[in-house]
Each structure stands twice: as C-alpha cells, then as structure tokens.
Amino acid sequence: MRILFNRRICSGHARCNEKGPDVYGLDEMGYCLPRSPIVPPELEEQARDGARNCPEGALTIVED
Amino acid sequence: MTEAQAGPSPPTTPDHVPASLVFSYDFSGDPMFATAPVDAPEHLTRGAPDIFYSPLNGGFWVLKRFDDMREVSRRPDVFSNYPAGIPATVGRSRKMAPIEIDPPELDRYRYTLGPALAPPKVKAMEDQVRSIAGPLIAACAPDGRADFVEAVSSKLPVRMFLRLVNVDDSESEPLRILHRQLFSGATVEARIHAGVTLEKYYTDLVRQRQDNLGDDLISRYITATPEGGAFSFEDVVDATMQLFVAGLDTVTNVLSLTWDYLARHPEMQQLIRDDPSIIPSAADEMLRYTGIISSTRTLTQDFEFNGVRMKTGDRVLMPLNLANRDPEVFPDGGEVHFGRKINNHLAFGSGPHRCLGSHLAKLEMVVTLEEWFRRVPAFSLDPHDPALSHGGHAFGMDRLPLIWEAAR
C-alpha cells in the first residue's frame, strides 16, 4: 500500500494524524507529513482511516 | 416555499441571473433560526438548485454542495475574502485582517499564528482548559439548573483566550458581555457600540503589550518577521481583535447547540456516560452536524462556475452546514452518529482560510464534555423557560436553560 499526498491542498486539519498517528506525522504548522510513502501491512487500517477523514481529499491510498 | 419566490424577481436580482436560479434564503432572519437553527439551512433551501441566487440582503449566490464549497475556497484569485459579510460590513477604513486578506498576503498571518495553534501546542493546553471548564461546571452542578450559555459556554472561551494573550481573568466578564452584545445585541446601535468599545480595548491592549513582550499570541504578532514583512501596529490590533471574534462566539455556539441536542436526546447522553472514550469522535460529529458557519466570498472577475455565470462583485455564501449534509458525502448526514467512521466534515472551512483555531475549539469541546459528564446527571430542557437561538454568519444560541436532578 502506498500514500499519494497532495501537499498543495493540505490546509492543516490534521485529521489524518488524529486517525492514523503512526502513518501521518505533522510539520510545525500542523500540516501533514506522511512518515513514509509505503505503508507496512500492520498500519494499513490507520492509513485508510486517516485518508478518508481528510476534509480536503489531499490523501489517496493506492492498494498495490 | 418562501414568499419572495411567488412574486416577480425583486430589484436586487441582476440581469445575468436567470429566473430559474432565484430562490430566497434568509440565513440571518428567518424565524426558524430562533428555534431550530441546525436544521434551518437544509429546510429553508430544500428545492433550490445546487447553486442559486438569493435576492435578499443585497443579493448573493448560495452554494449547497460540499465539492463546490471546497473548490471556491481554493480559488482565492477568483473568489476573494474581501469584503466579509453579506451585506458587506461598511465604514471600516482598512481590511479586517486576516479574515479579509487573500493569499499570498495571508501567508504571513498563517505562518505567524499557525505554529502556536498546531496540534502539539494545543495538546499542551489541555490542563488549562480543564482548569477553566471544571470550576464553571462545578459551580452550577449542585443547583440542578442553569442557563448553559450564561453559566458555561460563553464563559469558557473568553477565559481561555485571555490566557493565550496573557491577560488577567478579572477582565473576562466585561469582555464576555461586550462580545455577546457584538453578536446578539438587541439593537444595531448596541452592536456598533460594542464593536467600537472592543476595538478601543484591543488597541490599548496591543499598545501596552509593546512594552511588555512575552510568549503570548499578541507578542508573537508584534515580534514576528515573516516573509512579506513585519506587522504594523494596526495589523496587530486587527489580528488580536479577530482572534477573539473568531474564537469566542463560535465555540460558545457549537457548545450550546451540542448541549441543546443532548438535552433533547437522553439516549445520546447515555452513550457518553456508558463510554466516555467516544467523546472526541462525538465532538467531531457535533461539529459536523451543527456546521454553524456560513462563509462569504466576492467575485474578482466574471467567471463561469459549474455552469453558472457569475459577475465581478457578485457575493457568494457558503453555508458549511449544507456541505456537512451533502448526500453524496454524508448519505445519512441529517443523523447524529457519535462513532461515525468517515467524518471529513468542513465545519472549519477549507483551503487557505481553514480555521486556525480548529484544534483548540475541538479541545474545548472535548474537555467540556468530559468535565460535564463527570459532574451532571441526565439533563433536559427547562419546560418553563424556553431556549432561544439566532441565525447569521455564525448561527447559535442566546440562552439554553437546562434542568437536572440536583445533588443532595
């Protein structure tokens, strides 16, 4: 599983970090910083939850 | 559905607006906002096109769809934040910063304030919020009754903000009363008087702070050296006032409407009592469900938006309550589910003007719910003392008398 993150439309809701703290970190402004573009199997649920809760639609999950 | 529709188009409908898109929506004065504000936007716009033109208040476009509001919020080059309000606020000599500032000039405000209100910093404020919410609730819990607005929801945010700007708690009552008057004053004169008094208060506060810098939010603006230049004295006064205007009334209203909902739904209170760990998720659900804010934009150019021809200077209203119930995004959006798994709501807006205080607002909700449910048993509306709400750009409650069984 991979994460596609559109930095341009992230506006700092930080919902990804709330739902998937081990997958999505935050920068100093509270904007998303995915910890890694590749998601290990044990974190896939967090990755999906975080992406689905982004109000901006800035996160896309690619299931390989 | 509304009377204005039946007759010929009122004079405030410009020529480029087709009659098929005209539909009256009174987001500030419709009587439904006095009793059922949370359901009012959907009820009052039922049957209207997804993008329609209301001839009231000088005329304005209304967006109903989640995607449309997000798209407009992301195009500040076409949809400017200046001027704020429908009808536009008049009589000010300068733009109200940062609400009326567009990117890229907006960036220096965001980069100055953003880090101070980002999740890690806000998390560290939890004890402070608890030390305010706990005593407010403890003070009324033994009485078995309270006007929740007066006793809790209007007091909590002003006390919290005074800590953020390092001002003594003793100033909180006069400030709270002025801010209540600013939004809910009985007459226009009372509201204007409150605005003028508050502007003078914040001007004096910033002037004093220039000689007593600390690590508070006002000092942060004064000392910042962002790309785009340092802030002028007026910039700091405006940003300080805006901080309070944005952070007090909004939190008061979402808290009040949440307690109003809980008072009407004892089974939802029970869910929280049975499992307080659902509170953070419940807070987000109530932020979605209430969606109190209607943001405004103004066209900077002639523009065709999703098949609708708009012209330079046209005003646009985005009732976020409607985005949060868009059936394509929230198929059961009219219902409250504290455990909602996918809750990508737009209660805090979208794009470059996304509410910077969102994390603090949510913390205030979570902590107030926790402190309340620790102390107060099942509660309901006072049948002898009706609640009262109001419409507007941020709809909310003027009073919310609640009753419960008092501790013996």
Distance separating alpha carbons of residues B315 and B41, to the nearest angstrom: 18
Tens of pLDDT, residue by residue over A14-63, are: 999 999 999 999 999 999 999 999 999 999 999 999 999 999 999 999 99
What is the pLDDT, as a whole number, of residue B93? 78
Tens of pLDDT, residue by residue over B2-39, are: 334 444 445 579 999 999 999 999 999 999 999 999 99
Size of interface A-B (CB pairs under 8 A): 58
B110 and A29: CB-CB below 8 Å?
yes
Q: How many angstroms separate the first and last alpha carbons of chain A?
A: 5
Query: Among B10-14, B251-255, B276-280, B306-310, which is the least confidently predicted range?
Result: B10-14
Confidence of residue B393 (pLDDT cuts 50, 70, 90): very high
> In this structure, what are the phi and psi dihedrals at residue B343, rounded to the nearest 5 degrees?
-135, 65
Tokens coding B308: 């609708």
B341 and A49: CB-CB below 8 Å?
yes
CB-based contact, A46 to chain B, within 8 Å: no
Distance separating alpha carbons of residues B196 and B173, to the nearest angstrom: 17
Greater confidence (B364 vs B3) lies with B364
- B112: closest chain A residue by CA: A29
Tens of pLDDT, residue by residue over B296-331, are: 999 999 999 999 999 999 999 999 999 999 999 999
Q: What percent of chain B has pLDDT over 70?
A: 97
Q: How many angstroms separate the first and last alpha carbons of chain B?
A: 51
Measure Cα distances from B173 to B55, B157, B181, B394 in Å: 39, 12, 12, 22
What is the pLDDT, as a whole number, of residue B1? 37
Query: Can you count the helices (H) and strands (E) in chain A?
Result: 2, 4
Distance separating alpha carbons of residues B317 and B346, to the nearest angstrom: 14
Interface test with A, best of B67, B68, B318, B354 (most A CBs within 10 A): B354
Distance separating alpha carbons of residues A59 and A52, to the nearest angstrom: 8
Helix (H) or strand (E) holding A34: strand A32-34
Least Cα separation, residue A62 to chain B (angstroms): 18
A53 and B74: CB-CB below 8 Å?
no
Averaged pLDDT for residues B372-400: 97
Averaged pLDDT for residues B104-130: 97
What is the pLDDT, as a whole number, of residue B137? 98
Helix (H) or strand (E) holding B355: none
pLDDT above 90: residue B150? yes
What is the pLDDT, as a whole number, of residue B8? 44
Measure Cα distances from B31 to B62, B192, B288 in Å: 19, 23, 23
Helix (H) or strand (E) holding B3: helix B3-6
Domains of chain B plus CATH, in order, are 3-404 (1.10.630.10)
Which chain A residues have a beta carbon less than 8 Å from that of B350? Answer: 11, 55-56
Distance separating alpha carbons of residues B158 and B163, to the nearest angstrom: 9
Which three-class secondary structure state does DSSP give residue B293? strand
DSSP string, B32-84: HHHH-TTTHHHHHHTTS-SEEEE-GGG-EEEE--HHHHHHHHT-TTTEE--S-
- A14: closest chain B residue by CA: B119
Mean of all residue pLDDT scores within chain B: 94
CB-based contact, B281 to chain A, within 8 Å: no
Which of B172, B173, B177, B170 is CA-nearest to residue B194?
B177
What is the pLDDT, as a whole number, of residue B125? 98
B120 and A26: CB-CB below 8 Å?
yes
Averaged pLDDT for residues B185-193: 88
DSSP string, B105-157: TTHHHHHHHGGGGSHHHHHTTHHHHHHHHHHHHHHHGGGTEEEHIIIIITHHH
DSSP bridge partners of B379? B404
CB-based contact, B341 to chain A, within 8 Å: yes
Which of B152, B156, B220 is CA-nearest to residue B375?
B152
- b/e map B204-242, b = 16+ CB within 10 Å: ebbeebeeeeeebbbbbbbebeeeeeebeeebbbbbbbb
Work out the burial of residue A62: count CB atoms within 10 Å of its CB; fewer than 13 is exposed, 13-18 middle, 19 or more buried. exposed
Helix (H) or strand (E) holding B339: none
- B71: closest chain A residue by CA: A56
What is the pLDDT, as a whole number, of residue B406? 85
Domains of chain A plus CATH, in order, are 2-62 (3.30.70.20)
| Pick from B280, B345, B352: CB nearest A55 | B345
Which of B365, A53, B281 is CA-nearest to residue A24?
A53
A29 and B114: CB-CB below 8 Å?
yes
Tens of pLDDT, residue by residue over B201-245, are: 999 999 999 999 999 999 999 999 999 899 999 999 999 999 999
What are the residues whose beta carbons fall under 8 Å from the beta carbon of B137, sequence distance 6 or more? B152, B368, B371, B372, B375, B376
CB-based contact, A48 to chain B, within 8 Å: no
Least Cα separation, residue A11 to chain B (angstroms): 6
Distance separating alpha carbons of residues B153 and B213, to the nearest angstrom: 30
Distance separating alpha carbons of residues B110 and A30, to the nearest angstrom: 11
Distance of CA B148 to the CA centre of its chain: 18
